[in-house]
Structure 1
Amino acid sequence: MAIIDEFRTFALKGNVVDLAVGVIIGAAFSRIVSSLVEDVFTPLIGVVTGGLDFSNYFVALSSEVTATSLAAAREQGAVLAYGAFITATINFLIVAWVLFFVIRAVNRLRARQEAEVAAPPETPAEPALPADVKLLAEIRDILADGREKISRTTPESH
């Protein structure tokens, strides 16, 4: 039973759970990016380039392959599907671009948070005393100073 407890401890650690969540979100994000590339960017590139469609770009590795679509060519024999590689490269560049902006935003938030933690809180300045309070404080100080002078000059024998 010790191995089951050890596995439970391992599986429920924060890092493992965080990694699992990251993998699941990454898989969902991958589908979004694939759809963005296949359903948005590739057709736009096709329109701009006059009908260019990367998905059917291939080189037949056998003279028996006569098909014009990639799926049919794969059924007939070996093909080098470089269009799929181009699509995967575009996927990677989009993911890298998006992650760059996400990490950039996170780094800015961290820097701001660290600056707030590192800087001591500003102590508020003491409010200025009204003129009458200042005057009374000065009078108090003069009277206190005068009493000290009197007590020093008078003999204690009185």
Structure 2
Amino acid sequence: MKKFFNEFKTFISKGNVMDLAVGVIIGAAFQGVVTALTDNILSPIIGLFAGQNFDLLKLEAFGVTIAYGAFLTSLVNFIIMAFVIFLIVKFMNKLISAGKNQGEQAPAMKKCPYCYSDIHMKATRCPSCTSQLGE
């Protein structure tokens, strides 16, 4: 049983799991902001054109109520969330690719195999020990 808890502790303390947990918490908080934006700002503005609060638009027929305004509000929430997530992923991919490009650059210096001093990558002779360097 102790081995099981140690494995769980190792699993839960890995960076990926912690990153995922932080992402879920931030996503839930951000969803609240987007919902407030749509419910309190966008829906009333769109509702000005409809003559009532956009979220309250509904169709009643044959004793059935279809609340299409609430559905459209949820759709606007989804589109805003998807757009923001797209921007975040695009930004993160740009950061990651910039980091990879910097890491792939060839070093400007190398070590002389004879005296171990630092020399330029294009040097054919060591300035310290004057040894001829191979290609």
TM-score tier, shorter chain, comes to 0.5 to 0.7
Q: Which amino acid in structure 2 is aligned with residue 93 of structure 1?
A: I
Range with bigger deviation, 108-117 or 25-34:
108-117
Q: Which amino acid in structure 2 is aligned with residue 58 of structure 1?
A: K
Count of aligned positions: 110
- Whether the aligned pair in 1 keeps the contact of 2:44 and 2:54 (CA below 8 Å) is no
| In structure 2, C-alpha distance between the alignment counterparts of 1:112 and 1:60, rounded to whole Å | 55
In the superposition, the TM-score normalised over structure 1's length comes to: 0.58
- Cα shift readout 1:90-147 (whole Å, capped 9, x = no counterpart): 001111111222122112222221111112244698xxxxxxxxxxxxxxxxxxxxxx
| Aligned match of 1:17 | 18
More helix by share: 1
| In structure 2, C-alpha distance between the alignment counterparts of 1:110 and 1:20, rounded to whole Å | 21
| Aligned match of 1:153 | none
Structural mapping, 1:53-72, within 5 Å: 53-60=53-60, 63=63
Q: Which has the higher contact order (CA 8 A, sep 6+)?
A: 1
| In structure 1, C-alpha distance between the alignment counterparts of 2:101 and 2:44, rounded to whole Å | 46
Structure 1 pair 114–44 and aligned structure 2 pair: CA distance change class (3 A): same
Q: Give me the CA root mean square deviation.
A: 2.5
Q: Answer with 1 or 2: which has the greater Rg.
A: 1
Structure 1 pair 114–4 and aligned structure 2 pair: CA distance change class (3 A): closer
Structure 1 residue 45, shift from structure 2 partner: 1.9
| Aligned match of 2:123 | none
More strand by share: 2
**Seq. identity, %:** 39
Determine whether 1:105 maps to 2:91.
Answer: yes
| Aligned match of 1:38 | 39
The unaligned stretches of length 5 or more in structure 2 are 110-118, 121-135
In the superposition, the TM-score normalised over structure 2's length comes to: 0.67
| In structure 2, C-alpha distance between the alignment counterparts of 1:111 and 1:34, rounded to whole Å | 33
Structural mapping, 1:1-158, within 5 Å: 1=1, 2-47=3-48, 49=49, 51-60=51-60, 63=63, 79-122=65-108
Q: Which amino acid in structure 2 is aligned with residue 30 of structure 1?
A: Q
The unaligned stretches of length 5 or more in structure 1 are 64-77, 126-158
